[in-house]
Structure 1
Amino acid sequence: MPLRILAINWRDLKNPLAGGAEVHLEENLRRFVKMGHSVTLLTSNFPDGVKEEMVEGVRMVRAGNDYTFNWCVPFMLRKELKKNSYDVVLEDINKVPFYSPLYQKLPTLVIVPHLFADAVFQEINFVLGFYIYLAEKPIPRVYRGRKFCVISESTRQDLTARGIPAEDVRVIYCGTDFSLYSKDPKVAKEKDPLVVYLGRLKKYKSVDHLLAAFAKIAVDFPKARLIIIGEGDDHSRLLVITRKLGIESRVTYTGFVPKEEKVSWLRKAWVVVCPSLKEGWGLTNIEANACGTPVVCADVPGLRDSVSPGKSGLLYPYGQIEDLAAHLREVLSNSSLRQKLEAGALEWAQQFSWDRAAEEMIKLVCEVAGKK
């Protein structure tokens, strides 16, 4: 029986600041539409964004902006529920909870990529960070009795530690678009060592750790290059660090690149590095693995769930520059290890499909809605 689904998320994929949480939600929502369900997404607006449009079958309704959207949600919900009938609400807690159960009584599935907790203070000013920190505190009370969908075992453990009953939390891993992210026999690895970072340039992403580690191995690998793909408000600080380390001739900042170019870099790289403080999951890890490239990443919640240590990549203790440098040196200098990891990465990535994720998710949505 087709469902009428009302979803809420801070941003949508057309937003220039969209990230992994938006990819996760909309990969699922688009597939729900193809399954015959109707989907509306309430989200924030952005410069040159339109208030309402259809995107691949999903009806987008936008209001407010990054800073005001959570205050718009109660009014948007009341207006939408007065105008249209729905079977279930999907609330994506990405940054700040919307507390939708306070404004509507429909069956609700709470989607949690990850919570910030203390990590929020690494990224933004104390006042805004303290607001987000406090906003997470009432989650167990406000969402009591609701089902939660998380994207990693790490996030499940975080929720249960906060008092959410384990039986109310379901883990459904993210997927990968294999039509885009795949190994191409026609594309060879770079002749000289190539290290790639792919992601937003935010302080909590800890790209400065990668720069410091690369500087330590630069003398041993005089032809090695570091490509940093992505944009963000930490860009200026990272440029200063790059110059201070004396590696500006070896490091390239590409800014935003189209998907096809991103895939090309992932295929040609010898290794992809994810040094972040905390993530809900490592989308980039699996995308790199699907292209036949191993990863080296911090052993932190979310990232560790997306890596099979010794098979698809290597983990190091977060913030330990010497350990990160040692792993890079090991991968770049040992061709037999690199080939083993490349083969293992391809095998590991195959289990993460968006079609599988959407099938598992819609079963949970139907369960929450009381529909079969």
Structure 2
Amino acid sequence: MGSNAEFAINNVDFEKTVSRAEHLGLRDLAVIAWRDLEAPDSGGSEEHLTQVSQHWTNAGLSVNIRTAGVQGLPAQVERNGSKVIRKGGRVSVFPGAAFQVLRGGLGPADGVIDVFQGMPFLSPLWTRRPRVGLIHHCHMGTWSDLAPIGLAQLGYCIERFAIRHIYRSTPLVTLSPSSAEEIVKCMKIKPEQLRVGPVGIDSDFIPDITSGETEIPLVVAGGRFMPPKGFDRIPAILSSVKKKIPELQAVIFGDGPEKSRIESQIQKYSAEDWITLPGFISREDQVSLYQKAKLLIAPSRREGWNMTITEAAACGTPAVATKIPGHLDAVMNQQTGYLVENDYEMAEAIIAGLSDESKRIEMRKNSLEHAQKFRWEHTAAIILNALCDDAESRK
């Protein structure tokens, strides 16, 4: 996977880790995160938290989650065994979550999971409880895409200069070896602080052994329509592919702030008849789409992993993805897909993937095998184990 053996992915037994947590008194976990799963702009980070917290509650641990409020939805909800409290705005949630933990509003809070969705909660400044920080990826260079200029500058400064000092005694977990390397390089985090816990794959994502992929040269992409995802570049990329493969069809599922920009690019390249934007689709429809597609495309500029890549792989669909941290581990280059440096290379790789059937069949087989490595139980174990290490160091 990653090029640095220092960040190898270690197997951690889930049941033994839960027993260790209970022995250390970590029975009630407080999770603080910026955004809830039901927020309109939720994405992979929220799905990640939902999956790992469900494994903790299924194992008998208590989990209380605090996020910002979601307009039109209740302030409190039970989800998969966890209590989720949704209060405050996108800025006030940071002090609000801290006060709620300190006042006992998230239960005993034997341990704190501080989720970095760009901005961290700075938990080492206000609690001495055992804690772990969860960093999905660096946001260097993309802050201006995510926040107004003042907040973007603050976020950049905290990420670039403050986190390494504030969290110097806190274990941190990220999603991939390549993301860990980038965090060490850009954020100056000590390597010994970092653990790697890749995302899992839901059991719904399976290949269709009856009918398989369609005969139509169909490519898919999906996720939250945010600037770092690069979906607005897809119409231009695919327009050059269509000159070589006239039957090409594409589906880009999801929604978000970049939707109008993507639509305008589709119109610019007169692609309305062959690029479809169905919006958010159900899990069942995602699986069906992956099963029919010949390739998944992922043009992101920043990722911690990119769950769509390994979900598609579990359905037997290879990926063409940008060569960035996260993707470097989600895709095995030339084996489960192609890693590319720019849009021209992406177009050429898509043409190659659609034209060379024997190569694609080989990559399909490799993708299915690669996907077997990723389980949410393993992800949940690695995060909990890091929290246990911090608790043990405090005894």
Corresponding position: 1:159 with 2:175: no
Q: What is the correspondence of 1:275-314 to structure 2 with a 5 Å cutoff?
A: 275-314=299-338
Name the residue aligned to 2:194: 169
Name the residue aligned to 2:4: none
Name the residue aligned to 2:150: 127
State the one-letter code of the partner of 1:174.
Answer: V
Corresponding position: 1:356 with 2:356: no
Name the residue aligned to 2:249: 225
Corresponding position: 1:183 with 2:207: yes
CA shift in 2, pair 1:86/1:125, >3 Å: closer
Corresponding position: 1:74 with 2:115: no
Provide the secondary structure at the position in 1 that maps to 2:244. Answer: coil
- Shift, 1:124, TM fit: 4.5
Name the residue aligned to 1:44: 68
- Shift, 1:101, TM fit: 1.7
- The answer to whether the Cα contact below 8 Å between 1:267 and 1:293 also exists between their aligned partners in 2 is yes
Q: What is the correspondence of 1:217-256 to structure 2 with a 5 Å cutoff?
A: 217-256=241-280
State the one-letter code of the partner of 1:177.
Answer: D
C-alpha distance in 2, partners of 1:353/1:36? 19
- The answer to whether the Cα contact below 8 Å between 1:87 and 1:369 also exists between their aligned partners in 2 is no
Which stretch shows the higher mean deviation, 10-19 or 226-235? Answer: 10-19
- Shift, 1:363, TM fit: 2.5
Q: What is the correspondence of 1:357-372 to structure 2 with a 5 Å cutoff?
A: 357-370=379-392
Question: TM-score, normalising length from structure 1?
Answer: 0.94
Name the residue aligned to 2:80: 56
Corresponding position: 1:143 with 2:167: yes
C-alpha distance in 1, partners of 2:351/2:40? 35
Corresponding position: 1:322 with 2:344: yes
Corresponding position: 1:109 with 2:132: yes
Provide the secondary structure at the position in 1 that maps to 2:287. Answer: helix
Q: Structure 2 stretches of 5 or more lacking a match?
A: 1-21
* Structure 1 residues 323-366: Cα deviation after superposition (integer angstroms, max 9, x where no partner): 11100110111111111111111011100111222233332222
Corresponding position: 1:344 with 2:366: yes
- The answer to whether the Cα contact below 8 Å between 1:77 and 1:103 also exists between their aligned partners in 2 is no
Partner residue of 1:335 out of 357, 360, 371: 357
C-alpha distance in 2, partners of 1:305/1:241? 30
Provide the secondary structure at the position in 2 that maps to 1:117. Answer: coil
* Structure 1 residues 11-68: Cα deviation after superposition (integer angstroms, max 9, x where no partner): 1222232111111122111101111111111111111222222211111112112343
- Shift, 1:80, TM fit: 2.5
C-alpha distance in 2, partners of 1:103/1:24? 25
Q: Structure 1 stretches of 5 or more lacking a match?
A: none
CA shift in 2, pair 1:182/1:100, >3 Å: same
Which stretch shows the higher mean deviation, 272-281 or 187-196? Answer: 187-196
- Shift, 1:122, TM fit: 4.0
C-alpha distance in 1, partners of 2:114/2:147? 24
- Shift, 1:158, TM fit: 2.7
* Structure 1 residues 102-137: Cα deviation after superposition (integer angstroms, max 9, x where no partner): 121111111111120122224544333223212323
- The answer to whether the Cα contact below 8 Å between 2:232 and 2:258 also exists between their aligned partners in 1 is no
Question: TM-score, normalising length from structure 2?
Answer: 0.89
Give the aligned length: 368
* Structure 1 residues 221-265: Cα deviation after superposition (integer angstroms, max 9, x where no partner): 221101110001111111111111122211111111111111111
- The answer to whether the Cα contact below 8 Å between 2:297 and 2:320 also exists between their aligned partners in 1 is yes
Please provide the CA RMSD for this pair: 1.8
Partner residue of 2:286 out of 258, 262, 266: 262
Provide the secondary structure at the position in 1 that maps to 2:119. Answer: coil
C-alpha distance in 2, partners of 1:84/1:296? 45
- Shift, 1:192, TM fit: 1.1
C-alpha distance in 1, partners of 2:343/2:38? 36
Which stretch shows the higher mean deviation, 195-204 or 267-276? Answer: 195-204
Name the residue aligned to 1:87: 110
